[in-house]
Structure 1
Amino acid sequence: MLFIAKLLIIILSTKLAGDLSVRLGQPSVVGKLIVGILIGPALLGWIDNSNLIETLAEIGVLLLMFIAGLETDIKELNRTRNSSLAVGAGGIILPLFGGYFAGLAFGLDAQQSLFIGLLLSATSVSITVQTLRDLGRLGTRESTTILGAAVVDDVLVVILLAFMISFADPAAPAVTMVILKKVLFFGAIGLLGWKVVPWVMKKLVPLRVSESLISAAIIICFFFAWLAEVTGVAGIIGAFAAGVALSTTKYKHDVEHKVEPIAYAIFVPVFFVSIGLNVSFEGIADQIWLIVVMTVIAVFTKLVGSGVGARLTGFDKQGSLGIGAGMVSRGEVALIIATTGLSAGLLDQQYFTSMVLVIILTTLIAPVLLKRIFGDNPQAKKEEAASS
């Protein structure tokens, strides 16, 4: 029953915090992220990071990205592929060099500095997706470019991480195998999304059981996410791909209508809170300048690197800044990379907490930047109220 009480606190606090955030003129997601820090171990200590919380949070982020895929126009995604490549590349090159030289300046060795650069190159758009949804911007050319660039970032960062681990640990999987797995994954989801998903929906939806439609959709979402994980790609990319595949079928609107209540009632609130549960203020006084400098570099390099990539491929100033801001959040992808680097000996324990705080800060800053850039959208108030 203790877990039920914790779940009650999570759902109530995120809804109240989201509403308060909207009333204060910010996206609802900002309040939800902050309340995770408030009720977590860093402050009140009401909620701790258990395996069950992590599992529910993982389901939440998968459903969030699945919904984003459902709301994505595949034709627009194809049209923005060049922009996505430029934005993704710009969002890796600048943070990689920025993090590397900053690490050296703070006295870290070359290997740890390079890993920090790689860590700052990561992008997680799960928070960005929710913010764009709050602002009524999900489905626009800018949001589609951000989503496409996030896929580019995920693949390149994981491949670079594989290189680093292979040099540090001779027993690690060969880089060639890592690349091959990713090629197989994207080839597989392309074929599955085109041919298999419509067939599966056609076979499962008529089953004489309750909620066969949404059950079939979630099966596809989880299968794509699992396939992504086993091939070394982030599960959120698989979930997004599943949503895109279903968006081309006649079931799109029905699935979207049914999955949103499931996601936003329980799983997505737990995901938002889980990010705050990773915050710890213990021992940060000695590394406060490291945290401040790395956070500034993390924000600036994504904003400029991805923004320039967008500008060079035809976006106006506002759109380019918005795309750069949308790539700022490091979120759960960077947390996973940080944990991997710690276990592989690429990052010392003494810097782990500081880098986690940098990741959390970028995740909090991204929605605020997006609000300032895109906050004049006439649909914003309606979308914010609906998602809070």
Structure 2
Amino acid sequence: MPLTNHDIVELTEFRRSLHRRPELSGEEAGTAQAIIGALAPCAPDRVVTELGGHGVAAVFDGDADGPTVLIRSELDALPIEEISDLPYRSEVPGKGHLCGHDGHSTILVGLARLLARQRPARGRAVLLFQPAEENGAGAAAVLADPQFAAIAPDWAFALHNMPGLPLGRVSLAEGPANCASVGLKITLTGRTAHASTPDDGTSPAPALARLIPALSALGPGGALTPGFRLATLTHVTMGEPAFGIAPGAAELWLTLRALQDDDLTGLLHGATELARTEAAAAGLDVAFSQHDLFLACSNDAEAVAVLRRALDSEGIGHDADNLPMRASEDFGRFGGAAKSAMFLLGSGPDSPALHNPDFDFPDSLIPIGTRIFHRTLRDLLG
């Protein structure tokens, strides 16, 4: 029971309407209302709202007992100005759906249409529209929400479109799929002074100069094999923008990344200890804060086998190219609650990269993604 041509036309317009009005992590109230409105004609048995923030979950019950299967998409956009002449380009300055979450959520709306026409034979399907994926806060908030206990899944699946892969081809593999990562802000505080008498103050400049290469050396990158670690300097600031003041404070931001959660913990410990040592030697105070924490995403072998059967049944080509990925994905947290797997769905070799200002989700992926998830649900729930 595929989507009809009429469905695809309406879903394409719906995706483009989401694209016009992007909302950032934690601000997705309007997007959530648009999703709720699109779900209403599908008459889910339950719609859970304000889940972990602005999250929405649509539940379709089967007639008999069985497993709960969760399919997840994301609601949020990015704080990036869209550069495009598309008629449906972002209408919100400085914000854009430049990762494809508008398309992922539209696929789930398409799936809701198919479930409305034929409910699962057993168990239940849960379509989760998750908030705040881009900053790593959303999945944890959803899982911690008391409402989640009533829809806790046995299986969880997700997709992400992937530029560079052939359009509509799937990449899927057991084991590590996405790296763990965390943003670390290091604040060094000394004492400002007049630029003519810098010895009267305590400047963070020498410590900062030593920390930049030393921190990078802790995570040199390389092949995505066990033990992979990467430390990426993303922002540095020091002192005031004035010629008459010797600096007394500095901030260094870096993203730490590893293939496994334990390796990320070790990398984080090494970075903070190195900063403490340099600060003490320079007579500086040091403080730390962590941001955008993503756990590693690892695909369960049984969940991968379910997806592979669905892909083969639908005649959709697949391999393990581009896996694992250096990029992080908030879906990893669901692996602690269910047998879970995420696959990549090719956006085409000529597609701009994710988070580029000219990226746009290919509408031709809407029926393909819907088919894959629908077959997965039919295989597990009948």
TM-score after normalising by structure 2: 0.28
Query: Normalized per residue, which structure has more helix?
Result: 1
Greater RCO (CA < 8 Å, at least 6 residues apart): 1
Query: Normalized per residue, which structure has more strand?
Result: 2
Structure having the higher Rg: 2
